[in-house]
Chains A and B, each alone.
Chain A
Amino acid sequence: MIKATNIHKHFNDLHAVKGVDITVNDGEVLCIIGPSGSGKSTLLRCLNMLETPDSGTIEIDGVQLTENNLREMRTKMAMVFQNFNLFSHLSVLENITVAPVNVKGVEKVQADKKAMELLKLVGLEDKANAYPRNLSGGQKQRVAIARALAMDPDILLFDEPTSALDPEMVGEVLDVMKKLAEEGMTMLVVTHEMGFAREVADDIIFMADGEIVERGTAEQIFEHPSHERTQSFLKKVL
């Protein structure tokens, strides 16, 4: 379980995240939707301290994140980025094993074996020795998901994982994410894919202007949004 309390983040005068509380329970898929600039990415990046929050606390399974345990805590919440951010000088296999081997001290043989299993899971076992530059966007993102999974994280954080993809490749990535959701992976997903959110999310959070406007099931958010801001946002995107 990951629990963030009262997260604030300013960029100079801009109050990007305004005291957000968020809890993701084990096995839960939580999607965050909201207009551009509402602070979704910033919130996600605050959770693993890629942005340092001005204030607030973050806990995983009751252990509070501090400067001292940051690296260990980060291994428990692996992140998948909009632009994949694969290591361009490493092969697909090395992309997946570099962190387990160097951060967690997993044996190379063991890490390779696990990486091959994960590549199978994302349907790319034939690309183990390819380099990122030779992959399509959809393939890159699936490798990035395998790389995140290789850490055996408690939770996966996704920041618009399909926004940089050509439309015909969105499906293959969403399919992998659905499979993970079915297997009980805990996931926090910032997304513009309303279809995915509706189908997969246990809960949906609507964010606007750095605040959580409302949280509810797909049914509640999409069919009976209780706030006017949610209604007008959904009218625009649906």
Chain B
Amino acid sequence: MEVYLQGILVAIKGTPITIGVSLFSVIIGAAVGLGLALLKKSEKKVLSIIAKIYIEIVRGTPMIVQALIMAYGIPYLLQQNGIMFKWPHLIIPAMIVCGLNSAAYMAEVIRGGIQAVDPGQVEAAQSLGMSKSQVNRLIVLPQAFRIVIPSFGNEFVTLIKETAVLSFVGVVEILRSAQLWNASTFETFPAYIGAAIVYLMLTYPLSKGVAALEKRMAKEDL
């Protein structure tokens, strides 16, 4: 029994990294996702095409491949060209890749949120003389943001699980902690079951929390 407890404790050591990477990724994802959503909405064709291409590339390639390119490929390329570059910590490319991945997804979510805002309110704002950017900043985005907050929460939960692939890049998050312990003790089952339990301890209460938030917001509004 004790060995299982130990497996859980080892996995727990990886949680700050898992949570940290996931949290930063959500923030990067929301910010870049907002930019992408606005680009996509833009009347300038070029801008909306750029956003579309970005989203296609990110969605069409596995995150692990993107992570390997970012963590090792890019430093290699730079070094080949005589630029001494090394990530100060692998967590940085990890967060960038997860965040940029998230952004592609969040762009769609935010676009949906923007579309869900009552067009009558947009007209009212225009009729009061607001410019396009004022309408966005003062009327549309604050409401769209409220609408998408639960999706941000769900994305955070998803990222906690998805960041497991970063173990292959060498970021010592939950799964990597378990792998390293397994390598030195050969307690294979306790190691991985410990990781699974820790993931569940994180995702279960979080997704319940998001569901509760969603319910409360639905009640408060409409």
Contacts and interface: CB of A to CB of B under 8 A. Distances in A.
Interface of A: 48, 50, 71-72, 74-75, 78-79, 81, 83, 85-89, 98-99, 102-104, 133, 144, 147-148, 151
Interface residues of B, number: 20
Nearest to B142: A89
Interface of B: 118, 120-121, 123-131, 134, 138-139, 142-143, 146, 221-222
B186 to A, nearest CB: 57
Given A89-B143, A102-B134, A48 B127 contact: yes
Contacts of A147: 124, 128
Contacts of A148: 128
Given A102-B134, A103-B134, A89 B146 contact: yes
Given A88-B118, A98-B138, A102-B138, A79 B127 contact: yes
Contact of B128 (A75, A89, A133): A75
A99 B123 contact: no
Given A102-B138, A133-B222, A81 B123 contact: yes
Contacts of A98: 128, 138-139
Interface of B is mostly: helix
16 contacts: A50-B127, A72-B129, A74-B126, A78-B127, A81-B124, A85-B121, A89-B139, A89-B142, A89-B143, A98-B139, A99-B125, A102-B130, A103-B128, A103-B130, A104-B129, A147-B128
Contacts of B125: 87, 99
A99 B127 CA distance: 10
Contacts of B142: 89
B12 to A, nearest CB: 40
A50 B125 CA distance: 11
Q: Which 10 A-B pairs have the closest CB atoms?
A: A99-B128, A85-B124, A75-B129, A85-B120, A74-B129, A79-B127, A103-B129, A71-B129, A89-B143, A89-B142
